[in-house]
Structure 1
Amino acid sequence: MRAIVLLAHSGHLDKSGTVHALGLGWTTSPTPTAQHVLIVFVEVQWSELGTSFPIRAELVDSDGNQVAHTEENVINARRHPVHPAGAPVTIPFIATIPPLKLSSGERYQWRVSIAGEMHEDWLAGFTVTAGDT
């Protein structure tokens, strides 16, 4: 299993499984942060199709302390008729994050865990700047 984690100012997942996002890939934010979305593309192997996986993200500061988290959700690994047999399938997931009051000058990371598994590259980080003036 692999995952790509991105931040966007806004976004949604449509019924066909396509992610629509604005302001994708930001890396700095004033405090408090604006509402934003965490986008995760999970690639599952053919052998994992038909399985459901719990997914959760936690926001940690530069010391590794948890400061926020998403509710646990579930992604369902399903095959669509267009996928060739044996090919991996990518499943998109989006979590809407409310505004957060964070410390200016601090670096934060959203770290994603899937089925209790977390990898060092399943994250999206950002630095907090001074608040809006």
Structure 2
Amino acid sequence: MTVTATPRPTGHPGYSETLPRDPESAAVARRLVRTALATWGLEDRIDDAMVVITELVSNAVDHGRLASIRVIVSRPSEHRVRLGVVDRSKVVPAMRTDSNGDQVRGRGLVLVDSLTGRWGTDPYRWGKQVWGELKCEPSQ
């Protein structure tokens, strides 16, 4: 597996990795996010970022179409970190607000919504990227 990193505190890309579309990839994605945030001095955002990336990867694993997904961690500005997962499905995720009975699954985007400043979907001709942005202040 190849991890691409840039030494700059902001800009694109930050860190990214192509992973198999299986549940075990969430652990690799969490390590990638932890590395990026630690490098950027944003350790105080790691816990929330772990939950967000886990939910985004889980959705891509459940709904993607091909054998791989791409995890992207970027810093579009000094005060934001963007966590994204790219898959080959064009289906736009919808946040569930119903209780969904006793089922535990199906409410991940509610968590993403509560932990991020904003989240969304960027459609591509061949799929999409679902992302969430965390507000952050760099450590001094």
TM-score by length of 1: 0.31
The answer to which structure has the higher strand fraction is 1
